[in-house]
């Protein structure tokens, strides 16, 4: 599958929506909603590489910054190298739990900060007893209750910060997750919460790589699509923004890198 994303608008959202809607075969109102959510805006997916290239060229003609790419090249965060037990060496990042892997600071193409969100809706059947006046009368007071079946519904919304570290050599990115990470490497800088330690690590990495593009628009982006809901037999539905965030992180990484580095490759 091939995709086309707008990474920077030329002009206002309203003007862009009016001009781009007929090109993309969408209603101006729907086009505006997509663009108003923020960029990058994924405006087209197609199995045809030629069509993606054609649409990208037409959108660039309006002055917008556009990225066309093969979604098969997008690396899932589950397939990225996780910085669970990291250390910051003089020239790069090492992993105590994967000593054969290192990430030189010079090989980092872009740092992209984002948030992974998870939603769940769980229903659990419960059985209990309830007082029944009719049953008490009918049995002369021998039976005062009747069985009642119902369900307890629990809704949960969780989120965790992440930092994607994209590589110049084209290998799979690394990822730092706010949760599930040991921050022992921070030493005296280590705080009392995961949120604080995650923020400190991001700051230290930026200080070690001052010339590497950094972007955090995915933290505050108004709307990121959820993944497909996963239903567990009869009791729960779960979904997350992770797949779409992974995709958008790739788009942002190569867009910001290309702004300052002409040799940056598309995903």
**Residues contacting 65, CB < 8 A, separation 6+:** 6, 7, 8, 10, 255
The angle, 0 to 180 degrees and rounded to 10, between the axes of the packed helices 13-24 and 49-60 is 150
Q: Over range 11-20, report the average pLDDT.
A: 94
The answer to whether residues 140 and 44 touch, using CB atoms and an 8 Å cutoff, is no
Token couple for 98? 């994967």
pLDDT at 262: 37
pLDDT at 128: 56
Domains by residue range for the chain, with CATH: 2-72 (3.30.1390), 75-120+155-260 (no CATH)
Give the DSSP H/E element, type plus range, for residue 115.
Answer: strand 108-131
Determine which of 31-40, 78-87, 188-197 has the lowest per-residue pLDDT on average. 31-40
Q: Which residue would you say has higher pLDDT here, 261 or 14?
A: 14
The answer to whether residues 32 and 9 touch, using CB atoms and an 8 Å cutoff, is no
pLDDT at 118: 82
Q: Over range 213-233, report the average pLDDT.
A: 75
pLDDT at 133: 56
Confidence of residue 158 (pLDDT cuts 50, 70, 90): confident
Give the end-to-end CA distance of the chain in Å, rounded to a whole number.
13
Percentage of the chain modeled with pLDDT above 70: 76
pLDDT above 50 for 90: yes
β-strands 174-177, 81-82 pairing: parallel
The answer to whether residues 108 and 252 touch, using CB atoms and an 8 Å cutoff, is no
Query: Which residues partner with 147 through β-bridges?
Result: 129
Separation CA 47–CA 168 (nearest Å): 27
């Amino acid at each position: 599958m091939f995709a086309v994303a707008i990474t920077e608008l030329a002009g206002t959202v309203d003007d862009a929506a009016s001009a781009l809607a007929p090109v993309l075969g969408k209603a101006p109102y729907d086009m505006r909603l997509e663009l108003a959510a923020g960029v990058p805006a994924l405006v087209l997916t197609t199995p045809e590489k030629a069509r993606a290239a054609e649409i990208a060229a037409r959108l660039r003609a309006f002055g917008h910054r556009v990225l066309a790419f093969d979604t098969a090249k997008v690396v899932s965060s589950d397939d990225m190298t996780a910085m669970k037990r990291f250390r910051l060496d003089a020239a790069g990042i090492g992993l105590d739990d994967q000593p054969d892997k290192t990430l030189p600071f010079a090989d980092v193409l872009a740092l992209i900060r984002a948030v992974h969100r998870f939603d769940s809706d769980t229903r659990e059947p419960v059985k209990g007893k309830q007082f029944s006046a009719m049953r008490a009368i009918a049995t002369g007071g021998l039976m005062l209750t009747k069985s009642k079946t119902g369900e307890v519904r629990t809704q949960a919304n969780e989120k965790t910060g992440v930092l994607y570290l994209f590589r110049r050599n084209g290998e799979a990115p690394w990822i730092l997750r706010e949760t599930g990470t040991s921050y022992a490497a921070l030493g005296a800088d280590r705080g009392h919460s995961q949120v604080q330690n995650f923020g400190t690590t991001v700051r230290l990495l930026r200080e070690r790589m001052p010339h590497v593009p950094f972007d955090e628009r995915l933290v505050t982006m108004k709307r990121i699509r959820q993944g497909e809901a996963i239903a567990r037999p009869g009791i729960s539905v779960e979904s997350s923004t992770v797949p779409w965030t992974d995709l958008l992180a790739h788009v942002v990484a190569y867009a910001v890198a290309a702004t300052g580095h002409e040799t940056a490759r598309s995903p």
